[in-house]
């Protein structure tokens, strides 16, 4: 099998940037929707994990264990293929939407990242000194007021570096959507590399990923500095 040339005679840079641009939009959509949906879901899962209701705590603990203990690629495949398998097996009169491939991608990513965010939240919340709660109780704060006004702002400040790492990882993990044939940026680069017999699309895709991660790191660093109000 011939090895793709680094710089073949006829490289269509316009096609590379055009198709990678479309792939980047899909990557951005996966990234934004995953972030918007998984972060609040992760907080709910964290509350369930810390709940004194044993069945709920066990259930969320099992969910986190499965999501963190199995590959994201496998989870995407299960979410995508399982409904079709069930429909055929039980002869249900159900038709999946045309864009179910994208929906399955979002579901898989959201569930996976919610588990990771949940553990980050839990670590931040449980690290808070008991004195914070006792002081709030003395001042007459309710439990919800204590959490929203006193605990949560400090937790956000403390867990921000860990959250930043997960967000940067998410940018790169969007490439795993190729496993269920979602044409995001990595898939687009792969198709272009094959059609043009060149590795240039991979280099360009790498630049796109780097710029996206640099932007994320820059924004999160600015937020982190803004929250360092004691320095």
Is 126 part of a structural domain of the chain?
yes
Is 125 part of a structural domain of the chain?
yes
Is 5 part of a structural domain of the chain?
no
Q: Where do runs of H (alpha helix) occur along 91-182?
A: 100-126, 130-138, 143-145, 152-173
Q: What's the rounded Cα separation, in Å, for the pair 115 and 42?
A: 6
Q: What is the pLDDT of residue 1?
A: 46
Q: Say if CB 50 and CB 61 are below 8 A apart.
A: no
Is 30 part of a structural domain of the chain?
yes
Q: What's the rounded Cα separation, in Å, for the pair 16 and 102?
A: 23
Helix (H, G, I), strand (E, B) or coil at 37: helix
Is 68 part of a structural domain of the chain?
yes
Tokens representing residue 187 in the block: 């898939």
The total of structural domains in the chain comes to: 1
Residues 6+ apart with CB under 8 A from 40: none
pLDDT, tens digit, 9 for 90 and up, residues 169-178? 999 999 999 9
Is 190 part of a structural domain of the chain?
yes
Give the residue numbers spanning the domain of 101: 13-227
Q: What is the pLDDT of residue 230?
A: 55
Q: In a structure prediction context, what are the per-residue pLDDT tens digits for the chain, which is 231 residues long? A: 455 544 444 567 888 888 899 999 999 999 999 999 999 999 999 999 999 999 999 999 999 999 999 999 999 999 999 998 888 888 888 888 889 999 999 999 999 999 999 999 999 999 988 888 888 888 888 888 888 888 888 888 899 999 999 999 999 999 999 999 999 999 999 999 888 888 999 999 999 999 999 999 999 999 988 887 655
Q: How far is CA 85 from the centre of its chain?
A: 26
Is 8 part of a structural domain of the chain?
no
Q: What is the pLDDT of residue 228?
A: 77
Q: Give the domain CATH number at 210.
A: 1.10.3720.10
Q: What is the pLDDT of residue 9?
A: 44
Nearest to 43 by CA among 128, 143, 124, 139: 124
Is 7 part of a structural domain of the chain?
no
Q: How far is CA 221 from the centre of its chain?
A: 19
Tokens representing residue 96 in the block: 């999946």
């Amino acid at each position: 099998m011939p090895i793709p040339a680094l710089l073949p005679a006829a490289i269509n840079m316009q096609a590379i940037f055009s198709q990678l641009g479309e792939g980047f939009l899909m990557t951005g959509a996966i990234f934004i929707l995953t972030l918007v949906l998984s972060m609040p879901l992760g907080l709910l899962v964290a509350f369930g994990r810390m709940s004194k209701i044993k069945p709920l705590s066990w259930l969320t603990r099992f969910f986190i264990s499965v999501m963190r203990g199995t590959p994201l690629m496998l989870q995407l495949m299960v979410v995508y293929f399982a409904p079709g398998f069930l429909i055929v097996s039980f002869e249900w009169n159900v038709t999946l939407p045309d864009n179910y491939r994208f929906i399955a991608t979002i579901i898989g990513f959201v569930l996976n990242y919610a588990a990771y965010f949940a553990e980050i939240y839990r670590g931040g919340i449980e690290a808070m000194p008991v004195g914070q709660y006792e002081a709030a109780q003395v001042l007459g704060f309710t439990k919800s007021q204590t959490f929203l006004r006193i605990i949560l702002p400090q937790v956000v400040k403390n867990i921000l570096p860990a959250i930043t790492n997960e967000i940067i990882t998410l940018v790169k993990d969007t490439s795993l959507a190729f496993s269920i044939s979602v044409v995001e940026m990595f898939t687009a680069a792969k198709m272009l590399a094959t059609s043009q017999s060149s590795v240039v699309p991979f280099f360009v895709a790498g630049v796109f990923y780097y710029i996206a991660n640099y932007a994320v790191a820059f924004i999160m660093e600015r937020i982190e500095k803004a929250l360092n109000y004691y320095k």
